[in-house]
Amino acid sequence: MPRVGPVNGEESPRSTERAARARAGVLRLHRLRWLRLPGYVVVCWAGLGIALAAREQLGGYDLGTELAVLAGFAQGAAVVLALWRPLQAWALSLAGVVVAALTARPVLVGHPLPGPSWPWTTAEVLAQALVLLLLALRVRPRLSFSVLGATALMTWLVQGLIGGANYTSTGVTAVGVFGAVVLVGTALRGLGEARTQLVEQETITAEERARRTVLEERNRIARELHDVVAHHMSVISIQAQVAPHLVPDPSEELKENLAGIRQNALEALGELRRVLGVLRSENPEDPYGLGAAGAGAAPDTPQPTLDRLDALLENTRAAGLDVAAVIRGDAPAYPPGVQLSAYRIVQEALSNALRHAPGSQVRVTLGHHARGLYLEIANSRPRHPVRPSPGAGHGLLGMRERATMLGGHVSAYPTLHGGFAVSAFLPRDGVACDLEDAEDLGALEGLELVFPDDPPALPAPPGDAHEPHDEPGDREHPLRPSTREGKR
């Protein structure tokens, strides 16, 4: 699971993801503008060079200084204009070529052989090629080839139909260069569009995957909570069946009411079983969605509660983590749903520590408060190389779903010493409490990334002679002897 900034509050993952993409898009836009600036400068300098070269080459046509300068700088201006208006730049460049060629046509009569390049000079070919390249990168291929066809037609009209006297033909060469340039520009444009579509498709796929992950996690939670609800419905049914025998001479009205209660409880239990059958049908080998195929819990296995947290910590220690548990306060009678969610949050956090921080020290804190249960699982930096994890990468999302279902919240953040911490608050009765009452128990609403001033102190490594003092109100976990929490 990737270590990402966490998820708490009422904001949905999709809205958070969209806001992040919007901010990234703005930054990318500013970055692209700065990256384009050197290209603009190069094109402007190229336009200036082409304008000066075209003026020199058009001087061989004896057009006069004014007309040569005007025709040359028209080509340079077309190159610069193509950055923003490529179609208008192409029209300006082609018009300048036609005007210069037709004006120089009388000069070709009696000119010594082999004659000047006509109707395209070298500078005009370069200018038109740059304009066509920028145009092909900006417009659709059909328009690019239409423009190329118009350029070839105009070249044929000037050179083939109108013609001149003594000159060196450049029409065929120019049209060949223009065709190659348009093909290159069209290919580059197609490659860019393909990459854009691929990025868009990947974005859509990622959103669909995240949406499916949310639904799968909710289905898993629903499958687990079925046992809790079914237990209560079974108790109601049994109590309604036994109640008439506890009252001497019960009235017929009382018997009918209790029979109705029992019947409604049985019908509700049957509906729950049908719903669970639909949820299980997605993976019949793992009915409770607890692991890989064939590794799920049996249908009659009770859902875990806080009483089974000791076994979870022992299994984690056996897997190679140094786990310390600290309990604050006395545990009240939490509803089964709260206990199940707390167990799953601790289980997922320990699983993340095993995958992403092998050999680290982990501290699990359970704080029993009057308003609810506070959980904190913090690990130190990994001591062994981190291997690639095959996980789905949505553990934090599942924690958030469980906490939000009960009106609580979850936050996850890196610590200053290279570790990672997950904290959660679950209301005692599974009902959301005010922020003013819960702000001292966990992260506030809207929190995305937390860098605490004083990160949680982890247990000292074996062999450390320093033994911190006990904090009032804390007690050792029975399964972790000689492990206490030091003062912060």
Structure tokens at 392: 């789905």
pLDDT at position 149 is 95
Select, from the ranges 41-45, 276-280, 389-393, 435-439, the one with the highest average predicted confidence (pLDDT). 41-45
Closest CA relative to residue 224, chosen from 282, 321, 299, 281: 299
Reply yes or no on whether the pLDDT at 481 is more than 50.
Answer: no
Structure tokens at 266: 């049985």
How does the average pLDDT of the chain come out, rounded?
75
Residue 179 lies in a domain: no
Domain extent at residue 155: 13-169
Q: Work out whether strand 322-328 and strand 474-476 pair parallel, antiparallel, or are unpaired.
A: antiparallel
487 pLDDT band, cuts 50/70/90, is very low
Structure tokens at 130: 């740059």
Residue 85 lies in a domain: yes
Beta carbons within 8 Å of 128's beta carbon, 6+ residues apart: 75, 90, 93, 94, 97, 120, 151, 174, 178
Reply yes or no on whether the pLDDT at 14 is more than 70.
Answer: no
Reply yes or no on whether the pLDDT at 304 is more than 90.
Answer: no
188 pLDDT band, cuts 50/70/90, is very high
pLDDT at position 206 is 80
**DSSP H or E stretch at residue 168:** strand 168-169
pLDDT at position 390 is 54
Residue 200 lies in a domain: no
172 pLDDT band, cuts 50/70/90, is very high
Reply yes or no on whether the pLDDT at 326 is more than 90.
Answer: yes
Structure tokens at 421: 């911490």
Q: What is the CATH classification number for the domain harbouring 428?
A: 3.30.565.10
Residue 45 lies in a domain: yes
Do residues 155 and 174 touch, judged by C-beta distance below 8 A? yes
Residues 94, 97, 98: CA angle, nearest 5 degrees: 90
Q: For 245-269, write each residue's pLDDT tens digit.
A: 888 888 888 888 888 888 888 888 7
What's the number of domains the chain is made of? 2
Domain stops at, among 126, 153, 169: 169
Determine the Cα–Cα distance for residues 160 and 173; give it in Å rounded to an integer: 14
Determine the Cα–Cα distance for residues 374 and 371; give it in Å rounded to an integer: 9
Do residues 106 and 63 touch, judged by C-beta distance below 8 A? no
pLDDT at position 185 is 94
| CB atoms inside a 10 Å sphere around CB 278 | 10
Determine the Cα–Cα distance for residues 475 and 470; give it in Å rounded to an integer: 8
pTM: 0.48
pLDDT at position 131 is 95
111 pLDDT band, cuts 50/70/90, is low
Q: For 405-450, write each residue's pLDDT tens digit.
A: 888 999 999 998 889 999 999 998 877 665 444 444 444 343 333 3
Least confident of 57-71, 125-139, 346-360, 421-435: 57-71
SS3 432: coil
Residue 382 lies in a domain: yes
* The residue to which tokens 């994890």 are assigned: 389
Residue 254 lies in a domain: no
Q: Work out whether strand 474-476 and strand 117-118 pair parallel, antiparallel, or are unpaired.
A: unpaired
Q: For 143-160, write each residue's pLDDT tens digit.
A: 999 999 999 999 999 998
5 pLDDT band, cuts 50/70/90, is very low
Closest CA relative to residue 323, chosen from 389, 264, 274, 380: 380
15 pLDDT band, cuts 50/70/90, is low
**DSSP H or E stretch at residue 377:** strand 372-379
Q: Work out whether strand 420-427 and strand 474-476 pair parallel, antiparallel, or are unpaired.
A: unpaired
Domain stops at, among 169, 194, 214: 169
Residue 274 lies in a domain: no
Q: Work out whether strand 409-414 and strand 474-476 pair parallel, antiparallel, or are unpaired.
A: unpaired
- Tell me the average pLDDT across 294-314: 71
Residues 324 and 472 in one domain: yes
Domain stops at, among 125, 143, 169: 169
Reply yes or no on whether the pLDDT at 46 is more than 80.
Answer: yes
Give the residue with greater pLDDT, 421 vs 292: 421
- As a whole number of angstroms, the longest Cα–Cα distance in the chain is 136
Residue 378 lies in a domain: yes
Structure tokens at 379: 């690990």
